[in-house]
Amino acid sequence: MKFLVDNALSPIIAEELRKAGHDAVHVRDYGLQAAKDEEIFRVALQEGRIILSADTDFGTLLARWQMNHPSVILFRKGVERRPDLQIQLLLDHLAQIEADLMAGSIVVFERDQFGSLRKRVRHLPIR
């Protein structure tokens, strides 16, 4: 799979995804660390990449975008902030969400009030 890791996450995530056999780049690799979200969307769409982020603004942007790509994976509240734990969480669940991501989805990983992991999938476009 092809990923574009947003500036809200560590470049280590892109590096570890590459080690796992994926085509992954961090926005810093393109000099886009200060780019607006819309520019990151355009790059991901042009290159067929899935955006990885912790930036909740991507959900709002997807609702305005009204397209079925790019897919976005968000790490939200309570989810591990350490890159090694984030990558492990992603790799542990990637096979389960692959078809959704290929079809166009936003996938949100978050912890509920009891600390249990929740994985929400919403297909694009968001209406």
Q: Residue 78: its pLDDT value, please?
A: 67
Higher pLDDT among residues 117 and 70, named by residue = 70
Vertex 93: Cα angle to 13 and 37 (nearest 5): 50
Question: Whole domain around residue 57: which residue ranges?
Answer: 2-123
Vertex 89: Cα angle to 56 and 124 (nearest 5): 45
Structural domain tally of the chain? 1
Q: What six digits make up the tokens of 75?
A: 């790490």
| φ, ψ (nearest 5 deg) of residue 7 | -65, -20
Q: Rounded CA gap, 15 and 22, in Å?
A: 9
Q: Residue 39: its pLDDT value, please?
A: 92
Q: Can you tell me the mean pLDDT for 79-104?
A: 91
Q: Find the length of the chain.
A: 127
Question: Tens digit of pLDDT for each residue in 6-65?
Answer: 998 999 999 999 999 999 999 999 999 888 888 999 999 999 999 999 987 877 788 787
CB 105 within 8 A of CB 95: no
